[in-house]
């Protein structure tokens, strides 16, 4: 994995270089003045963001936010803290637009329509729209969904995918992953459509995971996750992208601190196991488009 990237990474010295600016933009000025990054998070999307048994926000995207906080602190030369603000699928973009938060990192998919109102960082994970259903239900293909009751969160890319690829299904609106999951367990619906990686987390946490399956094998539509940012704040976006690319390059090159973050959530003993080799290929494709970062821990 490392050899494959090093051969590409060292073949150029500058490709779309990430240069962190000396002078801050509006968002960075505010962060520097207050010493605070206001960041949105959700409590119901493990392993990306959720609350532990003590109610403390944890998850993969919270770890990404911590990397961004540390890089911002380094760039601005003063202590910076994260102030977490609860958000949900319906208000996450509005809170970016009205400056309630400066960033949101979670299971948020990049779309061209959303790009009209917010900006996005480089992608730091990928999943796809699938369904969790009772095992043996026969809902693994589009033709079997005629008349099936499928729950989905409105105004999401998952809803868009199901309307396109499961036209025979009866779509039912739910407010959250947890509500959809509860309706499936109670037999009120035939399936719940969402991001495959989030559905895997629901299945693993079940008392009887063998009762459920994720279908279809290949997602209806691929979902690329990224941090949501205010529009036209390139200097802030550069710091965010630098932090994410450094992390992804660290995973690909087996840098211990980066691998530890990935394994915490997606390793064999993590919240939602997902092969690091698979995601490392995705990370590599993105990291190859940026200048090689000399990670002190690695070199």
- The band of 142, judged by pLDDT with boundaries at 50, 70 and 90, is low
Segment 156-175 shows an average pLDDT of: 91
Segment 129-156 shows an average pLDDT of: 86
- The band of 145, judged by pLDDT with boundaries at 50, 70 and 90, is confident
Instruction: Express each pLDDT in 198-246 by its tens digit.
Output: 999 899 888 898 999 999 888 888 889 999 999 999 999 999 999 999 9
Segment 165-190 shows an average pLDDT of: 92
pLDDT at residue number 279: 94
What CA–CA distance (Å, rounded) separates 146 from 157?
A: 21
Looking at residue 27, the DSSP 8-state letter turns out to be H
pLDDT at residue number 172: 95
- Asked if residue 4 has pLDDT above 80, the reply is no
- Asked if residue 257 has pLDDT above 80, the reply is yes
pLDDT at residue number 213: 93
pLDDT at residue number 210: 92
- Asked if residue 281 has pLDDT above 90, the reply is yes
What CA–CA distance (Å, rounded) separates 143 from 235?
A: 48
Segment 39-50 shows an average pLDDT of: 92
pLDDT at residue number 8: 39
Domains of the chain: 2-126+224-287 (3.40.190.10), 128-222 (3.40.190.10)
What CA–CA distance (Å, rounded) separates 160 from 164?
A: 6
Segment 133-161 shows an average pLDDT of: 86
In angstroms, the Cα distances linking 91 to 31, 41, 161, 193, 194 are 22, 11, 21, 20, 18
pLDDT at residue number 35: 97
What CA–CA distance (Å, rounded) separates 25 from 40?
A: 20
Question: At which residue do the structure tokens 């698979």 appear?
Answer: 278
- The band of 299, judged by pLDDT with boundaries at 50, 70 and 90, is low
Question: pTM of the prediction?
Answer: 0.82
Over the chain, what is the mean pLDDT?
88
pLDDT at residue number 20: 39
What percentage of the chain carries pLDDT values higher than 70? 90
**H-type alpha helices, 10-141:** 26-34, 60-76, 92-97
pLDDT at residue number 191: 93
Segment 89-113 shows an average pLDDT of: 94
Segment 270-286 shows an average pLDDT of: 92
Backbone angles phi, psi at 175, to 5 degrees: -85, -20
What CA–CA distance (Å, rounded) separates 123 from 226?
A: 4
Signed CA dihedral, 109, 58, 47, 244: sign only: positive
Segment 59-79 shows an average pLDDT of: 97
């Amino acid at each position: 994995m490392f050899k494959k990237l090093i051969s590409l990474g060292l073949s150029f010295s500058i490709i779309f270089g990430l240069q962190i600016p000396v002078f801050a933009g509006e968002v960075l000025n505010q962060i520097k003045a207050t010493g605070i990054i206001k960041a949105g998070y959700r409590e119901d999307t493990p392993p990306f963001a959720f609350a532990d048994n003590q109610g403390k926000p944890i998850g993969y995207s919270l770890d990404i936010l911590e990397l961004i906080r540390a890089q911002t602190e380094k760039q601005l030369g003063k202590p910076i803290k994260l102030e977490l603000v609860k958000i949900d699928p319906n208000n996450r973009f509005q809170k970016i637009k009205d400056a309630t938060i400066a960033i949101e990192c979670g299971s948020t998919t990049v779309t061209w329509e959303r790009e009209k109102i917010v900006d996005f960082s480089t992608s730091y994970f990928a999943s796809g729209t699938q369904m969790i259903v009772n095992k043996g239900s026969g809902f693994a293909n589009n033709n079997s969904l005629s008349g099936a009751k499928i729950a989905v969160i409105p105004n999401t890319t998952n809803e868009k995918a199901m309307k396109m690829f499961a036209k025979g299904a009866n779509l039912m609106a739910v407010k959250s992953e947890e509500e959809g999951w509860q309706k499936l367990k109670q037999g009120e619906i035939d399936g719940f459509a969402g991001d495959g990686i989030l559905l895997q987390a629901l299945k693993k946490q079940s008392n009887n995971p063998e009762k459920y399956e994720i279908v279809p094998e290949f997602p209806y539509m691929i979902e690329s996750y990224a941090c949501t940012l205010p529009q036209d704040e390139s200097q802030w976006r550069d710091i965010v992208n630098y932090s994410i690319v450094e992390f992804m390059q660290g995973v690909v090159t087996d840098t211990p601190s980066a691998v530890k973050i990935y394994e915490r959530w997606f390793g064999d003993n993590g919240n939602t196991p997902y092969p690091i080799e698979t995601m490392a290929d995705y990370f590599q494709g993105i990291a190859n488009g940026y200048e090689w970062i000399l990670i002190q821990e690695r070199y």
